């Protein structure tokens, strides 16, 4: 556990402080979109957590993650710091989990703050003094689904970063993979019989989506743990 916490501390400093003031662009842009622009545009629909609001809530942090998670291993390789990291006594699992957890918490905390800020702005400008709150059941599902989606982006990014030699290649593969995932999901949904989802309400559909994302998370994390071998990385 101490090894994982040490790795999280190291990665947190890299995420927050590496690049100087430019490193603040990603979190500030994400909060500006999710916490200010989108809630003010959607108004009461944002507080109701409608399907389109939920999709935006999941998509923006996922996009932020895949924009920099390729640096996880490929960046270390490019900066010639991977050898130093692998020479430490930290277990392979601690190194991998530290990178994944740091990335997930970074995006997830921004999502939670954006939810809070968005709620405040909608209540101030769209409710005429009648203060509202998110439906608790949908809020709990949205928070959990946001966490799972962030894990999906981070685990996929780490896995790809292990396989390529440069950050640019990792970002290209992630962009292509995300496009394939989106259009592939749409195609599968269109091919499924209409009665498959006809009996499900919105909340039940969210639960099904949670189960699918959780399964993908388990698969990708499993492949990441299998692929992260110190001996292979040193030879590469």
- What is the chain's pLDDT, residue by residue, as a tens digit (236 residues)? 777 787 778 777 766 655 555 666 778 888 899 999 999 999 889 999 988 998 899 988 888 888 878 777 887 778 777 777 777 777 778 888 888 898 899 899 999 999 999 999 998 887 777 888 999 988 998 999 999 999 999 998 888 888 887 888 888 888 888 888 878 777 776 776 666 666 677 777 788 888 989 999 999 988 888 887 766 665 55
What is the Cα gyration radius of the chain? Answer: 19
CA pair distance 12, 107, nearest whole angstrom: 12
The per-residue pLDDT for 39 is 92
The per-residue pLDDT for 111 is 92
Q: Is the dihedral of CA 184, 209, 205, 53 positive or negative?
A: negative
The per-residue pLDDT for 108 is 92
The per-residue pLDDT for 139 is 92
CA pair distance 236, 233, nearest whole angstrom: 5
The per-residue pLDDT for 232 is 64
The per-residue pLDDT for 219 is 92
- List Cβ neighbours of 19 (8 Å cut-off, separation of 6 or more): none
Q: What is the pTM of this model?
A: 0.85
The per-residue pLDDT for 81 is 77
The per-residue pLDDT for 131 is 86
The per-residue pLDDT for 17 is 56
CA pair distance 117, 217, nearest whole angstrom: 28
Residue 92 burial (10 A CB sphere; 0-12, 13-18, 19+): middle
């Amino acid at each position: 556990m101490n090894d994982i916490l040490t790795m999280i501390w190291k990665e947190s400093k890299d995420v927050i402080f590496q690049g100087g003031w430019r490193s603040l662009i990603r979190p500030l842009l994400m909060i500006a979109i999710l916490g200010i622009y989108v809630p003010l545009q959607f108004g009461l629909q944002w507080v109701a957590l409608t399907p389109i609001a939920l999709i935006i809530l999941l998509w923006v942090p996922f996009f932020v993650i895949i924009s920099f998670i390729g640096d996880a291993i490929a960046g270390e390789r490019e900066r010639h710091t991977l050898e130093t990291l692998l020479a430490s006594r930290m277990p392979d699992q601690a190194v991998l989990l530290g990178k994944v957890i740091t990335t997930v918490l970074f995006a997830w905390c921004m999502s939670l703050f954006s939810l809070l800020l968005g709620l405040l702005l909608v209540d101030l400008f769209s409710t005429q003094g009648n203060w509202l709150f998110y439906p608790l059941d949908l809020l709990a599902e949205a928070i959990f689904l946001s966490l799972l989606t962030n894990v999906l982006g981070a685990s996929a990014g780490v896995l790809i970063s292990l396989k390529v030699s440069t950050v640019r290649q990792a970002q290209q593969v992630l962009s292509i993979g995300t496009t394939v995932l989106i259009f592939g999901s749409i195609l599968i949904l269109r091919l499924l019989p209409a009665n498959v989802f006809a009996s499900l309400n919105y909340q039940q559909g969210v639960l099904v989506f949670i189960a699918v994302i959780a399964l993908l998370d388990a698969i990708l994390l499993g492949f990441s743990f299998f692929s992260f071998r110190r001996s292979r990385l040193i030879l590469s």
